Amino acid sequence: MLERFTDKVVFVTGAASGIGHATCIRLAEEGANIVCSDVNNVEGIVAKVKELGRDAIGFTCDVSDEEAVVATVKSAMEHFDKLDVLCNVAGIMRSDHTHELAFKDWKKILAVNVDGTFLMTRECLPHLLKRKGSNVVNISSTAALGSHPWMAAYAASKGGILSFTRSIAVEYVKQGLRANAICPGGIATPFHAQFKMPKGGDMDLLKGAMPFMKYAGPEHVASTIAFVASDDARYMTGAEIRVDGGALS
C-alpha cells in the first residue's frame, strides 16, 4: 500500500457509508488522519480509521446547514490545527418526472449537493491555503455530463459542482491550491440503491447511462480520489474524471 498521505489531515463528508466511507478507509491506509462528517452517525467509520492506527474525529453535520458547517470545521481545526485535503462526498438523490417534481424537493437536492459543497469549501479554504499541496476533491456525477432521465434536480446539482470546481481551481491556482471533480456512475452503494424509476418510466431511456462492466464498488472511486488528492496528481486541477465503467465512452 502506498503512503501518500502520511501525517496529512483529510476532511471527508458523507463518511458514514458508500464512497465517503471507502475514501476514509483508503486514505487512512495511506497514512492520513481523518475528519469524518456525515448527517448520519459516524462512530463506525471513526473506529475503523483508528483501528488502522490513524487519528480520527467524527461529527454529525448537515452540510446544507451553514451554522452546523461553521461549527464542525471550527471544532475539527481545534483538534488537528491543519488541513491538507477536503473531499466533498456528501450528497442526496431522487428521481421524478420533472413535471411532477415538487419545488421543495428540487431545493433540498440543490441545498445538500451544491450549497453543502460550497459551505464546506468556503469554511475549509482558509485552512487549506496554509498548507503546501492542499486540494479539494468534489464528487460530481456522470449525470452532469450525460443524459440521465428523471433526475433533473440531481443532474443540475452535479453540473453546478463541476462549474464550482473549475472556478475555484482557477481562482486559487497561484496560491497553490488544486481542485478537481470525480464523476462516478454505476457504483454499487446504498446511495445508488436509492434510485427508483418513476411510475411509467421507460428503461430504454437509461441505456446511455449504463456501464459496460459489472457495477463497481465504492473502493474503486476511493482509489481515484486517493490519486487525485495526492501529490502524484500535482499537475491536475480544474479537471473532471469519470469513473463509470465506460458508460459515457
Model confidence over 145-164: pLDDT tens digits? 987 888 999 999 999 999 99
Q: What is the chain's mean pLDDT, rounded?
A: 93
At 114-146, the pLDDT tens digits run 999 999 999 999 999 999 999 999 999 999 998
Distance in angstroms (rounded) separating the CA atoms of residues 77 and 83: 8
At 43-63, the pLDDT tens digits run 999 999 999 999 999 999 999
- Residue 154 designated active-site: yes
Burial of residue 132, with CB atoms counted within 10 A of its CB: 0-12 exposed, 13-18 middle, 19 or more buried: exposed
> What is the reported pTM?
0.93
Residue of 154, 172, 215, 235 with catalytic role: 154
Residues in the chain: 249
Distance in angstroms (rounded) separating the CA atoms of residues 94 and 224: 25
Is the pLDDT at 197 greater than 70? The verdict is no
Over residues 60-68, the mean pLDDT reads 98
**In this structure, what C-alpha cell is assigned to residue 39?**
448527517
Is the pLDDT at 190 greater than 80? The verdict is no
Quick check: 13 and 137 in contact, CB under 8 A? no
pLDDT at position 183 is 96
